[in-house]
Structure 1
Amino acid sequence: MQEEKNGPVKPKVYIAIVNEIEIAVYKALNTGAEILTAAGFEHLQCHTLYQKLKGCDFEKVSLDQAIDLSNPGIERFTTKGPDVFHYNVDNEPEMTDKSELTAHQILLAKGINPNNHYLIQVLTVGNVSYADNPSQPIKMICTGMDFISGKWQDLVDIEEYGKQCKPVPPAKLYRIKVDKGYHTWPKRYITVPQLIEFEYPNNTKPVEVYKFLNTSPKPIKLKPDEMVDLTEKCLVRFTIQPKEQEDGLSDDHIQEEPVEETVKIRRDFTLPEEDIEFLDNLGLLWEAIANQPGMWVMIHDYPIPVGYNVQKAEVALLISSHYPAAEIDMAYFHPSLIKVSGRTINNVFDQVIDGKNFQGWSRHRKPGEWRPGVDNIATHLCLVDNWLVKDITR
């Protein structure tokens, strides 16, 4: 550095005003990119620089354009958002001067028919599908965006995908099973009342809807106003059950003297395949025993809701020789259930089954509510769970 009498030579400083803020640079010639960088901007492609000369309007400065800051005619600089946005569709570059585009517009601009395809935004973590929202505005990002197109399926069978737990692709129609009927639906989402309408149009009776997932051993009750996503992974089917059953002693409950208890796991009779699969998936020990008299399914360590004297109990279900055409009625618990509130459980009775004293709950469907081909042990246990929860508040 050259020395003068009074010390080192100080470098020349040039002042530029960018968006009303002064910045200092140490050379006269600077590109638009250098001015933006000096002003603290990142992602330079996201900003457009303009300079104001005395007596003139603002004029655009490109990123590689050199500006002489020693020019006394320069008044100030300002910035605006980008003039164009770059993005890729199916690995091919596209650009737009609009700050927002819909998925529909992006597909059309690419020459892709939105009636046959939908748009997916590719992100670093996960993707976003616009199959159900083709008109939703997408805010364009100046640093670039990646999209791919997907082809609509004409029809997707929810039960088929659910049994295999495969991701459900977007479709023009979804085939869903409600009770024993199959129906098609043109949207990804469906409400609980709409599910009920499939099998029970103009229904006025109180009912509840359950969904079956391949990953859940027990059906899951849906809220009355719930919006159901048909593309939920492992969703298999739906069933509709009466909301309330009548209390009262049944004329056909069986009394028997105690017999010797055995610890052997017994399978004295064969159940339908769907019942065996359900019971096995519960993860609980279960038996099918006969000659008690009658045929019984015994489920050990069945969970009991909070509010009773036990957290789990053995549950017995009487199986008719005509099952599944004939209904399952009531339920039996060992040990007997007692509410911690001290309130009485109405309409219960003692029943000896397999040498143990069970507490029978006299709760019954109304005539005609059992539906062969739809109802089974799984759907009956949905009702049993409801009885248990409801009785706590009585």
Structure 2
Amino acid sequence: MNTNKESAPRWAAVVDERVIPMPRQIIPALLIKEQAGIDPKSHIIRDLQSPNDSVIENDENVDLGAGNVFRSAQHAPPSQAGCDPNAPAKLAFILNDAFVFAVEPTQTEGALRRQFGLNPKVQLLRDLVGPNDKPIADDEKVHFKDGPVFVTVFDIEEHCKDGDALSPCDGYLIRVDDTKIVMRESHPTGREILLRAGKDPKLTMLNQKIGKRFEPVPLDKKVDLTACGVERFTTLPNEQSEGRGSASRDFALPELDQELLEDSNLNWETVQEGESKWLIIHDIAVPQKFLQRPTSVAIQILPGYPSTPLDMAYFNPPVHRIDNKTIPCTEAVQIVRGLGWQRWSRHYTPENPWKLGEYNTLTHYLLSQSWLDREAQKP
């Protein structure tokens, strides 16, 4: 029996053809009667693959792992001569309050799917105590002793490939970076998604991939997981160090960067001055904590990008707090197109490095917006 409460399987019994949730695997017989609403004076009988079913007394402890199918009767049934008293017990595999009977304690994921008639796009999970239910892999062997209760969730990323409407289910399987997590709510906040993914909302920025574009998800914004187009989520560390650092003609960005910027409906251009190349994104609104005027951000494209990490961001007009407090590490000015750009000296760190193939000009731009939001939250 699994004794780790956080990862323990949920248990249930089928009593008189009804699913009755149970608090654990081994329980008093009287508790089964109480939860099923059965008169304590009646008999509870474990259903065996034999006419000689097993009568259980009130003071007995019942191991649901040895069989979880029961019926009630006012009188104990008589024993049948010539029947096997050691016949195997009936087992009930339970999914979303429906159940199927079995004698074989080891099933496969595919067999359970076929028995319950599941939509091929839903993911089958073993129902565990706590939020982290265990996904069942394709054709994985499923052992009754490990827990008979299951739930289904929609794999959002798979669902969005065809754009089909969602059917009712117990939750939604979403991918955050390279990890898949289950959200029970159809409209979780950005903060709830980060917490479920094991991320610190104070130090992490959440982005949502919709089609080919990425959109930042504020901590308190609700995300509609049932909407078409929601594919997956990525995170960026929002704890770059505050430090010091460096400085147009049009040039081509990598094709993926161009597609991401175009799909995000940003007003952007590339500028080259001497050996320096810049991506400039215009018409950026700033948080209320700052002097309210649209600004632009310049990101220097260093030689060797994307293998070479991006670093820092430059704003023009400069961003100033309305309370005139100094923003750390924004004193330096970079001249681009004859204008002074306020340098926000923020860097990737050894703990949160640049990730080739995952980070790009769009993610760096979104990260620069998170720096503004982070500063705006300071007193």
User: TM-score scaled by structure 2?
Assistant: 0.51
Residue 308 of structure 1 aligns with which residue? 290
Residue 195 of structure 1 aligns with which residue? 197
Is 2:352 aligned against 1:354?
Answer: no
CA distance in 2, matches of 1:319, 1:312: 23
Residue 312 of structure 2 aligns with which residue? 330
Picking from 359, 370, 378, the partner of 2:354 is 370
CA distance in 2, matches of 1:357, 1:343: 20
Task: Label 1:341 to 1:173 Cα distance change in 2 as closer, same or farther (>3 A).
Answer: closer
User: TM-score scaled by structure 1?
Assistant: 0.49
SS of match in other structure, 1:351: strand
Deviation (angstroms), 1:280 = 1.5
Is 2:235 aligned against 1:240?
Answer: yes
Task: Label 1:115 to 1:269 Cα distance change in 2 as closer, same or farther (>3 A).
Answer: same
Residues 131-210 of structure 1: pairs in structure 2 closer than 5 A = 158-159=156-157, 161-162=159-160, 165-168=163-166, 176-179=174-177, 181=178, 183=179, 191-196=193-198, 206-210=203-207
Task: Label 1:103 to 1:161 Cα distance change in 2 as closer, same or farther (>3 A).
Answer: closer
Residue 117 of structure 2 aligns with which residue? 116
List per-residue Cα deviations over 1:45-72 (Å, max 9, x = no partner): xxxxxxxxxxxxxxxxxxxxxxxxxxxx
The residue type paired with residue 298 of structure 1 is I
CA distance in 2, matches of 1:215, 1:333: 26
Segments of 5+ residues of structure 1 without an aligned counterpart are 1-101, 119-130, 135-153, 198-202, 260-265
Segments of 5+ residues of structure 2 without an aligned counterpart are 1-94, 102-112, 128-151, 186-191
SS of match in other structure, 2:363: helix
CA distance in 1, matches of 2:182, 2:116: 14
Task: Label 1:313 to 1:191 Cα distance change in 2 as closer, same or farther (>3 A).
Answer: closer
List per-residue Cα deviations over 1:257-308 (Å, max 9, x = no partner): xx9xxxxxx64122242x2223213333211222343211111112212222
Identity %: 28
SS of match in other structure, 2:287: coil
Is 2:268 aligned against 1:286?
Answer: yes
* Structure 2 contact 297–313 (Cα < 8 Å) conserved: yes
Task: Label 1:343 to 1:324 Cα distance change in 2 as closer, same or farther (>3 A).
Answer: same
CA distance in 1, matches of 2:239, 2:250: 32
CA distance in 1, matches of 2:282, 2:183: 41
Picking from 250, 253, 257, the partner of 1:270 is 253
Residue 146 of structure 1 aligns with which residue? none
* Structure 1 contact 319–328 (Cα < 8 Å) conserved: yes
The residue type paired with residue 244 of structure 1 is E
List per-residue Cα deviations over 1:15-66 (Å, max 9, x = no partner): xxxxxxxxxxxxxxxxxxxxxxxxxxxxxxxxxxxxxxxxxxxxxxxxxxxx
CA RMSD across the alignment = 4.4
List per-residue Cα deviations over 1:222-264 (Å, max 9, x = no partner): 46xx9977544311221122132111112xx02xxxx9xxxxx
The residue type paired with residue 204 of structure 2 is V
List per-residue Cα deviations over 1:110-156 (Å, max 9, x = no partner): xx9872248xxxxxxxxxxxx99x9xxxxxxxxxxxxxxxxxxx997
SS of match in other structure, 1:290: strand
Deviation (angstroms), 1:383 = 2.1
CA distance in 1, matches of 2:161, 2:337: 36
**Comparing both structures, which one devotes a greater share of its residues to strand?**
1
* Structure 1 contact 269–290 (Cα < 8 Å) conserved: no
CA distance in 1, matches of 2:98, 2:166: 25
* Structure 1 contact 167–233 (Cα < 8 Å) conserved: yes
Task: Label 1:297 to 1:204 Cα distance change in 2 as closer, same or farther (>3 A).
Answer: closer
Task: Label 1:167 to 1:205 Cα distance change in 2 as closer, same or farther (>3 A).
Answer: same
